[in-house]
């Protein structure tokens, strides 16, 4: 059996010089991942891989009701595959006419004006971006609406999903993938789970490098069947997810991923050696009314710092309610709750709402 490949080992593997799995690498372009959640990795992007990734995007966008006549806007800093896809054949022509790439670093006021002028049907961005967009548009009194919102690159919690649905009057679908593996899974139109791109990737759910039972969470490892210039075999994505023990009612037949639990680095480690999923932390804390934003950080001494930005200045009972929720979550572990006016890093790339500095 092939060994597990972790990010650090992958990062230290030299790029192929000329050919890899029959691919002439002179026709490929190097792409370096952001490194926002770990060590940056440089990969070769070959034309066949890029075309296949575009086909996967077309499949899930079509399943969500997106058609070639719909206007689509993608918020990102860099997207090499998108820039190359814009040049490819008929789909490239359609993309150039009906799809726009906008940088997340652009002033958000200018982005709102662009949305009001161009009126995109579909917007693709990180959940943290939509939280910032909702707040800013409310602050300046310029509401924007979309028909469909695609969340990607970060964990989508239930409170952010409801916020997007309420503020933008949009249906929300989640997409899951990594820069190293490409698109891995996408939310079923029935919202009953995530369809795994089984014709493009093999996914394993492991614990201590052994398969877990169906329906149990495990560390997600991916083997790409189409990435030839930089082969990706049994790559540990750093995420924990739960495979479904049921068939999707939509009848598509693709394997189902029940839930994305979050990055292993975001799991809270308990003093008895257990783990608490960031998804569970978010599920508990987002039920507290009066919270505009929060961040949970576990320090190296196991203590937990909870930063809370209240919706109003009159939040006397908020700290106590947060402490009660934390007691349910963390038991007797030391928890410090602070009400703050600002939480740094609330709109940047790969925002981590829950973070443990104990987990390597």
CATH for 305: 3.30.300.30
Q: What is the DSSP letter of 27?
A: G
Of the three residues 263, 289, 320, the one that is the final residue of a domain is 263
pLDDT digits (tens, 9 = 90+) for 26-52: 778 787 776 655 677 888 888 888 888
63 — phi, psi (to 5°)?
-60, -30
Which residue range forms the structural domain that includes residue 332? Answer: 267-356
Maximum CA extent, the chain = 65
- Last-in-domain residue among 211, 243, 263: 263
Residue 2 domain flag: no
Q: 250 with 272, same domain?
A: no
The two structure tokens encoding residue 10: 């992958």
Whole-angstrom Cα distance, residue 181 to residue 66? Answer: 24
Are 236 and 102 part of one and the same domain?
yes
Domain membership of residue 245 (yes or no) is: yes
Six-digit token pair at 184? 């891995």
Q: What is the DSSP letter of 333?
A: S
Contact by Cβ (8 Å): 49, 182: yes
182 in any annotated domain: yes
Between 184 and 23, where is the model more confident?
Answer: 184
Which segments of the chain does DSSP mark as H helices, in order? 7-11, 47-63, 80-85, 89-98, 108-118, 127-140, 158-168, 278-285, 318-330
Residue 348 has pLDDT above 50, yes or no: no
The pLDDT of residue 100 is above 80: yes
Is 50 exceeded by the pLDDT of residue 204? yes
Q: Would the pLDDT of 293 be above 70? A: yes
Give tens-digit pLDDT for 115-147.
999 999 999 999 989 999 998 999 999 999 999
Does residue 349 carry a pLDDT above 50?
no
User: In this structure, are 40 and 148 located in the same domain?
Assistant: yes
**Residues 207, 213, 217, 221, CA torsion sign:** positive
Residues 90 and 83 sit within 8 Å (Cβ to Cβ): no
Mean pLDDT in the chain?
86
pLDDT at 164: 96
Report whether pLDDT(154) > 80: yes
Do 115 and 250 belong to one domain? Answer: yes
Looking at the structure, tell me whether residues 243 and 300 fall in a common domain. no
* Domain final residue pick, 238, 263, 288: 263
164 in a structural domain: yes
In angstroms, rounded to a whole number, what is the distance separating the alpha carbons of residues 173 and 148? 8
Is the model's pLDDT at 80 over the cut of 60? no
User: Given a cut of 70, is residue 95 above it in pLDDT?
Assistant: no
For 12-21, 28-37, 61-70, 230-239, which range has the lowest pLDDT when averaged over its residues? 12-21
Specify whether 254 is located in the same domain as 195: yes
Question: Which among 359, 152, 162, 168 has a CA at the least distance from the CA of 276?
Answer: 359
User: What is the pLDDT, as a whole number, of residue 61?
Assistant: 96
Pair (352, 237) in one structural domain:
no
**Are residues 307 and 238 part of one domain?**
no
Q: Within a domain: residue 143? A: yes
The number of folded domains in the chain is 2
Q: Quick check: 71 pLDDT over 80?
A: yes
List the CATH number of the domain containing 163: 3.40.50.12780
Residue 67 has pLDDT above 70, yes or no: yes
| Res 15: pLDDT | 62
The answer to whether position 233 is within a domain reads yes
150, 27: one domain: yes
pLDDT at residue 62 greater than cutoff 70 = yes
- 43 and 176: one domain? yes
> Is there a domain that residue 292 lies in?
yes
Residue 175, φ and ψ in degrees, nearest 5: -120, 140
When pLDDT is cut at 50, 70 and 90, the band that residue 258 belongs to is very high
Could you tell me which residue, 131 or 273, shows the higher pLDDT? 131
What local confidence, expressed as pLDDT, does residue 347 receive?
43
171-201 pLDDT, tens digit each? 999 999 998 899 999 999 999 999 999 999 9
The Cα–Cα gap between 306 and 320 comes to 12
Burial of 296 (0-12, 13-18, 19+ CB in 10 A): buried
Query: pLDDT per residue over 311-346, tens digit each?
Result: 877 677 888 899 999 999 999 899 999 999 888 754
147 in the same domain as 217: yes
Residue 1 in any domain: the answer is no
Residue pair 263/141 in contact by the 8 Å Cβ criterion: no
What was the pLDDT predicted at 94? 64
Query: Do 254 and 320 fall within a single domain?
Result: no
For residue 43, the model assigns a pLDDT of 84
Cα dihedral 40/266/224/234 (nearest 10): 100
Q: What is the pLDDT of residue 9?
A: 66
């Amino acid at each position: 059996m092939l060994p597990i490949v972790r990010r650090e080992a992958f990062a230290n593997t030299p790029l192929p010089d000329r050919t890899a799995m029959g691919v002439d690498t002179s026709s490929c372009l190097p792409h370096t991942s952001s490194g926002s959640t770990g060590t940056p990795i440089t990969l070769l992007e070959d034309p066949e891989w890029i075309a296949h990734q575009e086909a996967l995007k077309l499949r899930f966008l079509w399943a969500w009701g997106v058609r070639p006549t719909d206007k689509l806007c993608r918020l990102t800093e860099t997207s090499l595959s998108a820039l190359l896809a814009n040049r490819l054949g008929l789909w490239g022509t359609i993309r150039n006419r009906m799809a726009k790439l906008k940088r997340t670093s652009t002033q958000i006021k200018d982005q709102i004006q662009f949305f009001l002028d161009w009126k995109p049907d579909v917007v693709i961005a990180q959940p943290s971006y939509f939280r910032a967009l909702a707040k800013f548009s409310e602050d300046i009194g310029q509401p924007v609406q979309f028909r469909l919102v695609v969340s990607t690159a970060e964990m989508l919690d239930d409170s952010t999903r409801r916020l997007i649905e309420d503020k933008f009057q949009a249906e929300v679908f989640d997409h899951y993938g990594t820069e190293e593996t490409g698109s891995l899974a996408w939310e079923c139109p029935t919202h009953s789970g995530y369809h795994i791109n089984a014709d493009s990737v093999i996914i394993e759910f492991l614990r201590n490098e052994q398969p877990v039972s169906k329906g149990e969470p495990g560390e997600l490892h991916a083997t790409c069947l189409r990435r030839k210039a930089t082969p990706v075999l049994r790559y540990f994505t750093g995420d924990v997810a739960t495979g479904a023990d049921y068939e999707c009612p939509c009848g598509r037949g693709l394997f189902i991923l029940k839930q994305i639990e979050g990055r292993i680095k975001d799991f809270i480690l308990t003093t008895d050696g257990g783990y608490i999923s960031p998804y569970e932390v978010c599920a508990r804390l987002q039920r507290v009314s009066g919270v505009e934003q929060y961040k949970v950080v576990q320090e190296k001494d196991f203590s937990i710092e909870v930063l809370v930005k209240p919706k109003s200045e009159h939040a006397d009972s908020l700290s106590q309610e947060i402490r009660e929720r934390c007691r349910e979550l963390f038991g007797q572990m030391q928890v410090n709750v602070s009400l703050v006016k600002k939480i740094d890093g609330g709109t940047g790339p790969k925002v981590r709402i829950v973070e443990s500095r104990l987990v390597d």
